[in-house]
Chain A
Amino acid sequence: MKKVYGTKLYVPSRAWLQALAAFCLIISAHAASAPEAMGAMLPVADVAGPSHSTAAREDSFSKTAMAETMAVIKEAAAASGLELLRIGHSSENTPDGNSLRIDCGFASFSLLGFCDFMDTLGEELKGMDAGLVSFSAVAESRTARAAATDGPARKGVLKVYTISLSLMHQAPGEKRKLDFDPSLITEYSTILRYCSSRYEISSALLSEHSGELALGGNFSLKGTKKSLIDFMKGLGRGFDIAEKGYGAHQNQLLMPFLMRVYFPKN
């Protein structure tokens, strides 16, 4: 410390000022190398990084759309007489968060109930960027006890359709197009309803990758190949029918067939 000439004031000497400056430089360098210490003083939202309003919007869509879509599926199944066996969603199937995929399983004594379900679902999802991705309906023979449902008691061997279905629901404003046209659900229902009432359909599968609808059934006097070809004209992008020999069941001649219907993809 040195005294200012002519006064009683003392000012720091040069060495003292240099030591003070070095102290301040070292403290600031240490603080710069410990960002977490600084971050702990900030609100959590700022520490997390830039605003994630877009991500929050996508997550909000996925959780609310999932709850609503599950409720729609449950109501449609109850109205159509389908027994809901399982329903589920996993974010692994839709990692981007902009779309929602729900898988469900049903049991039904008749494919007509499944057609009613598709019609109801098509109405509920109209206007939304949502629709069927794939489904499979396979007929199984079960004893009355194994086929117990909430409905009235039945006897003997029953034919029960085990149905699996996947729905995709896309966030509004999503630019990426779905692989399928959501309005095709009406066409699937029309074809399945006609065929199930005439041709003893044993299996119906909609492929997710190719968009093909494959139906396995039997021609008979009740439902002939000609009537099927006449019905299918104008539906889908095209179809082909492959017959697989013939057989007899309960004094009735049956001719198994496999029909594939092609639909356009986006």
Chain B
Amino acid sequence: MNKKSYGFLFISLVSFFIFIIVFDNKNLYAQTSAGDEASVCRDYLDRIKIAAAGLSVNISNEKCAISRDAHGDERLFFEASAGFLEAPELFRFLDALFEKAVTAPSEIAAIDAAPPEKHGGSHACVFSFIKGRASKYAADTRGSHFQAFKKAVAAASSEYNLKLSRFYYLRNGRIDLEGASRSLDGILAFIDHLAAYQAVEKFSCVNIDKKYDARARQFYYRFQISAALY
């Protein structure tokens, strides 16, 4: 073997090892230092506030944490609270955050909107999302689950006149809706609508109870619907 062959062999082996080290790297920010991780967190937290600017949504309790998934890969976990008056305002904000690629999350972890503590107050929504290695997450289901959740909430309040008090989305496609209505027909029609909706796989729990509103001196129906999405 002459000197030229040794040279080619040496260069090939060095290139191979460099390739393996980069390809098998489980550290999301291996080439960056701890200071850069903090700046990435700050950058995304700023993007959350920029998305809320101009909308009637108040952002508070922003958090960013670096965690590891079951495979040991690093990922960034973001969580924040958003105060809003109406559900459409919240979804306009979440659209700006998720759909318009302001943050382009790998996965939406949870969206939990709770009723206001005081009558006439604003709703509080705690949302969280994950930024990680995009190849590990099923990008198709992420977008379709969020769209299905958004459509279900919009249909409940605008098409069937249901007053939603709480709506909840969990990763892997679980949704939960709670609310009230004067008419049982409206609730059953909404359940029929969800049953016909292709994105809904099955109902985990459906409960409807008749209650009496002493202030308004009227009966109304409270409902809770939990479903799994495809």
Binding site for B on A (CB under 8 A): 1, 13-16, 19-20, 23, 26, 30, 36-37, 40, 43-44, 47, 56, 59, 62-64, 66-68, 70-71, 74, 83-92, 97, 148, 150
Residue from A20, A85, A89 having most chain B Cβ neighbours under 10 A: A89
A83 to B135, CA, bound (A): 54
Q: How far is the CB of A57 from chain B (nearest CB, A)?
A: 12
- Interface flags, B22-41, vs A, CB<8A=1, else 0: 01100000000000000000
Residues of B within 8 A of A92 (CB): 205
A19 to B141, CA, bound (A): 43
Among B16, B185, B188, B208, the residue within 8 A (CB) of A23 is: B16
Q: How far is the CB of A87 from chain B (nearest CB, A)?
A: 5
Q: How far is the CB of B204 from chain A (nearest CB, A)?
A: 5
> Which stretch in B1-9, B57-65, B120-128, B155-163 binds the other chain?
B1-9
Counting contact residues on chain B (CB < 8 A from A), the size range is 35 or more
User: Known contacts A1-B4, A19-B12: does B200 contact A63 (CB below 8 Å)?
Assistant: yes
Is B195 within 8 A of A64, CB to CB?
yes
User: Known contacts A59-B202, A63-B202: does B195 contact A74 (CB below 8 Å)?
Assistant: no
Is A84 within 8 A of B210, CB to CB?
yes
Among B136, B185, B206, the residue within 8 A (CB) of A89 is: B206
Residues of A within 8 A of B195 (CB): 63-64, 66-67
Among B16, B202, B219, the residue within 8 A (CB) of A91 is: B202
Residues of A within 8 A of B136 (CB): 36, 40
Is B9 within 8 A of A19, CB to CB?
yes
Residues of B within 8 A of A89 (CB): 203, 205-207
A78 to B29, CA, bound (A): 64
B13 interfacial contact with A, CB 8 Å? yes
Is B188 within 8 A of A70, CB to CB?
yes
Residues of A within 8 A of B185 (CB): 74
Residue from A30, A37, A91 having most chain B Cβ neighbours under 10 A: A91
Q: How far is the CB of B130 from chain A (nearest CB, A)?
A: 16
13 A-B pairs whose Cβ atoms sit less than 8 Å apart in the complex: A1-B5, A16-B8, A19-B13, A23-B13, A36-B136, A40-B136, A64-B196, A66-B206, A70-B188, A86-B209, A90-B204, A90-B205, A97-B202
Is B138 within 8 A of A74, CB to CB?
no
Is B138 within 8 A of A44, CB to CB?
yes
Q: How far is the CB of A162 from chain B (nearest CB, A)?
A: 13
Among B2, B5, B192, B219, the residue within 8 A (CB) of A67 is: B192
Is B20 within 8 A of A30, CB to CB?
yes
Is B5 within 8 A of A13, CB to CB?
yes
A42 to B104, CA, bound (A): 21
Is A67 within 8 A of B191, CB to CB?
yes
User: Known contacts A16-B9, A19-B12, A23-B16: does B1 contact A91 (CB below 8 Å)?
Assistant: no
B140 interfacial contact with A, CB 8 Å? yes
Residues of B within 8 A of A13 (CB): 1-2, 5
Residue from B24, B201, B206, B209 having most chain A Cβ neighbours under 10 A: B206
* Chain A, residue nearest B203 (CB): A63
* Chain A, residue nearest B9 (CB): A19
User: Known contacts A19-B9, A67-B192: does B203 contact A86 (CB below 8 Å)?
Assistant: no
A97 to B195, CA, bound (A): 15
Q: How far is the CB of B5 from chain A (nearest CB, A)?
A: 5
Is B210 within 8 A of A85, CB to CB?
yes
Given A40-B136, A67-B192, 4 further pairs, Cβ under 8 A: A26-B20, A40-B135, A44-B141, A91-B203
Residues of A within 8 A of B192 (CB): 67-68, 71
B45 interfacial contact with A, CB 8 Å? no
A89 to B224, CA, bound (A): 10
